Amino acid sequence: MVAHPDDESFGLGAVLDGFIMEGAEVSVLCLTHGGASTLGAGPQLSQVRAKELRSAADQLGVESAVLLGYRDGMLSDVLRDILSAEVLRELDDRPTDGLVVFDPSGITGHADHTAATRAAVDAAAVMDLPVLAWTLPQDVADTLNEEFDAGFVGHEQSDVDLVVPVRRERQRSACLCHTSQAVPGSALWRRLELLGNHEHLRWLRREGDPLLR
């Protein structure tokens, strides 16, 4: 469950690849076309982003990638019940063992990421599904913020539940599909370098947890 078309590659790519390599069937639900409305490019960029998502999903081996048409930059203005209903609709269409999302911080503090994660957790509570959040270790976030004057949000190791070994090959191939965004010298490539062959995850919800609003 992601907010923008590049999130499944730039952020979750290595984690999703790990699930797929272990035999899991992975589907992606993306809520917006990521910049297509706020950048003022309209339908043309929307089509580009949709094509990039499909290509990246193929590189990762994702079973299906559903791209919705909510306006990027405005997900936090959409009623959370509406967004969670979108997730529930997808969950009704296919058996699901759990959800993978961005950290509630949004990783970069982006409100769209936070809204997408909140909707996923709401839906997971209804279906009693576990939710894993991809996050950054604090030292990596600090380095990126220093080098790129960015707004990355990290967590100390005490807040991280799982540190998992990953492979980057398919993630990097998927990232390259997003030619409109994976520009040379961007923070993306430096982040992957700093993370090396490990990703960091937090449990946002486990099976049996109470429904909290």
Largest CA distance in the chain: 44
**The pLDDT of residue 179 is above 90:** no
Name the pairing type of β-strands 162-165 and 198-205.
Answer: antiparallel
Domain presence at residue 165: yes
Q: Which string of DSSP letters, residue by residue, matches 40-55?
A: S-THHHHHHHHHHHHH
**The pLDDT of residue 101 is above 80:** yes
pLDDT the model gives residue 213: 45
Across all residues in the chain, what is the average pLDDT?
92
Q: What is the average pLDDT across 49-72?
A: 94
- Total structural domains in the chain? 1
**The pLDDT of residue 146 is above 50:** yes
Query: From CA 114, how far away is CA 163, in angstroms rounded?
Result: 22
Q: What is the CATH number of the domain that holds 135?
A: 3.40.50.10320
More confident residue, 208 or 96: 96
**The pLDDT of residue 81 is above 60:** yes
Residues of the chain above pLDDT 90, percent: 82
Joined together, the tokens standing for residue 177 give 């599909």
Domain presence at residue 128: yes
Domain presence at residue 99: yes
Domain presence at residue 159: yes
With bands split at pLDDT 50, 70 and 90, how would you rate the model's confidence at 39?
Answer: very low
Domain presence at residue 153: yes
Threshold 0.75, pTM exceeds: yes
Query: From CA 55, how far away is CA 147, in angstroms rounded?
Result: 30
Domain presence at residue 180: yes
Question: What is the helix (H) or strand (E) element at residue 101, kind and residue range?
Answer: strand 99-102
Domain presence at residue 210: no
